[in-house]
Amino acid sequence: MNIKNLMSMLEARHPGEHEYFQAVGEVLISIEDVYNEHPEFEKAQIIERIVEPDRIYTFKVPWVDDNGQIHVNLGYRIQFNNAIGPYKGGIRFSPHVTLSTLKFLGFEQTFKNALTTLPMGGAKGGSDFDPTGKSPNEIMRFCQAFMLELWRFIGPEIDIPAGDIGVGAREIGYMYGMNRKLTHENTGVFTGKSIEYGGSLIRPEATGYGAFYFISQMLKNIGTDVKGKTVAVSGFGNVAWGAVLKATEMGAKVITISGPDGYVLDRDGVSGEKIDYMLELRASNNNVVKPYAEKYGVPFIAGKKPWEVKVDIAMPCATQNELNGDDAQQLKDNGVLCVAEVSNMGCTPEAIDLFIDNKILYGPGKAVNAGGVATSGLEMTQNAMHLNWSAEEVDTKLKQIMVNIHEQCVKYGTREDGYINYMKGANVASFLKVAKAMVAQGVV
Ligand code: GLU
């Protein structure tokens, strides 16, 4: 494999898709050795085939706001790879969504889903629609307009969407409802549904819970635990909420949450009703955390990220590339023990290099945040069986899946000096699974 040639080929073919190149580049560097040990991969041109999505749907989404004004957004669904199971992955509504964003996310999803041990391929979708400041009726009309196109491409054995940034249970409800109306079917074609119509208990909490289970495995592996550790969390949405809940329950202390407006520093810890208040903040659709600081009388640091605060554990839970090389340096200077990406590709390549060079525990998003989609897989299983598991049952399975992902990272990422390169471990373990499935199924 010649990584340089491959990257040049991709860059010539898809000009300007930087996030996608970043995600592909990271995987290629990690898997180079193992790829070269498997001539059957080269013979089947697995790399050339795995870096391109199977297909991309792009569509126009016209909708009408509360004042009668017409808007046009773009909608996408990227079906990346279904070698190990039906396409599966979330939908993101954000003004920052571009084709490049969704391609990087779909590519990551393919490997993340392989790590979960469940049979799910990779996909991602979304729109450049900005939910900030929209009324509940506008959100509903947009979701319905989006589904008027998307419904043709999905199905419970074809492609199963879910939530992501800007898409939670409310939006999924509206999309599911429109899909039901158009198809005359009530199948579990989305995950992240509310419990009343086929959702799974623990799904809302699962990404954050899974992340903290993973972190506790990382710390256990170096002979310590999460009790009493201080944690910086970025973001304040669904993923951050689940992470704060589990961190607090397991005896760690979360001292920051953040939004696009800045971060809140709560030295007493985000706990109890303050955690519930995060949900209110998200539901308000204003995309700010400052009201938390005002309500609880704690400092608000405008326009800054929480990585300047001295903590044991850093958990980026907001969006891609939210933690850069300078942030990483600051965390290192402050003695950080563990950095776990809960957002997808939360750290820039410079930040990751700095953590690995300095033997700081670093968990990549595709391993750390896989609990969300894993629990989506458990929701699909329950839907297929037409029954519901208890919260304990789902949580036990989720915990086991995260332990298993950690073991896969250790198996493929342990270096000779004993340091575990979780990025390499996660990339190699997941690549091997998808690549072997592709070889077995021929050139299709
Ligand atoms: N959007 C989430 C992720 O990045 C969840 C996807 C799903 O549940 O399908 O993994």
Which residue has a Cα nearest atom 9 of ligand 1?
A: 89
Q: Is residue 135 part of a domain?
A: yes
CATH code for the domain of 58: 3.40.50.10860
DSSP H or E run through 150: helix 136-150
Task: Note whether 69 and 9 are same-domain residues.
Answer: no
Q: Which of 368, 386, 413 finishes a domain?
A: 368
Q: Is residue 396 part of a domain?
A: no
164 pLDDT band (50/70/90 cuts)?
A: very high
Task: Note whether 45 and 88 are same-domain residues.
Answer: no
Per cent of the chain over pLDDT 90 is: 98
Mean pLDDT of 127-152: 97
Q: Kindly report the pTM of this predicted structure.
A: 0.97
| pLDDT per position as a tens digit, 60-71 | 999 999 999 999
The span from the CA of 289 to the CA of 294, in Å, is 9
Point out which residues pair with 91 in neighbouring strands.
Answer: 125
Task: Note whether 124 and 182 are same-domain residues.
Answer: yes
- Structure confidence at residue 258 (pLDDT): 98
Q: Which of 186, 217, 248 finishes a domain?
A: 186
Q: Is 124 a catalytic residue?
A: yes
| pLDDT per position as a tens digit, 177-211 | 999 999 999 999 999 999 999 999 999 999 999 99
Report the number of secondary-structure helices (H) and strands (E) in the chain: 17, 12
CA of 106 from ligand 1 middle (Å) equals 10
Task: Note whether 70 and 211 are same-domain residues.
Answer: no
pLDDT at 35 over 90: yes
| pLDDT per position as a tens digit, 294-338 | 999 999 999 999 999 999 999 999 999 999 999 999 999 999 999
Task: Note whether 268 and 354 are same-domain residues.
Answer: yes
pLDDT at 284 over 90: no
- Structure confidence at residue 79 (pLDDT): 98
- CB 364, CB 348: distance < 8 Å: no
Atom of ligand 1 nearest to the CA of 88: 9
394 pLDDT band (50/70/90 cuts)?
A: very high
Task: Note whether 88 and 176 are same-domain residues.
Answer: yes
CA of 421 from ligand 1 middle (Å) equals 24
- CB 342, CB 315: distance < 8 Å: yes
Binding-site residues, ligand 1, Cβ < 6 A: 88-90, 112, 162, 164, 191, 344, 372-373, 376
Residue written as token pair 């005359």:
184
CA of 171 from ligand 1 middle (Å) equals 14
CATH code for the domain of 314: 3.40.50.720
Exposed / middle / buried, residue 385 (Cβ in 10 Å: 0-12, 13-18, 19+)? exposed
CATH code for the domain of 431: 1.10.285.10
Domains in the chain, number: 3
- CB 263, CB 305: distance < 8 Å: yes
Q: Is residue 414 part of a domain?
A: no
CA of 112 from ligand 1 middle (Å) equals 9
- Structure confidence at residue 246 (pLDDT): 98
Catalytic position from the list 124, 246, 366, 433: 124
**Looking at per-residue confidence, does 374 or 2 come out higher?**
374
Q: Is residue 381 part of a domain?
A: no
Task: Note whether 280 and 355 are same-domain residues.
Answer: yes
Residue numbers of the domain that contains 101: 53-186
| pLDDT per position as a tens digit, 93-109 | 999 999 999 999 999 99
Task: Note whether 226 and 361 are same-domain residues.
Answer: yes
Compute the mean pLDDT over every residue in the chain, rounded to the nearest whole number. 97
Interhelix angle 370-385/203-221, nearest 10 degrees: 130
Q: Which of 304, 337, 368 finishes a domain?
A: 368
pLDDT at 1 over 90: no
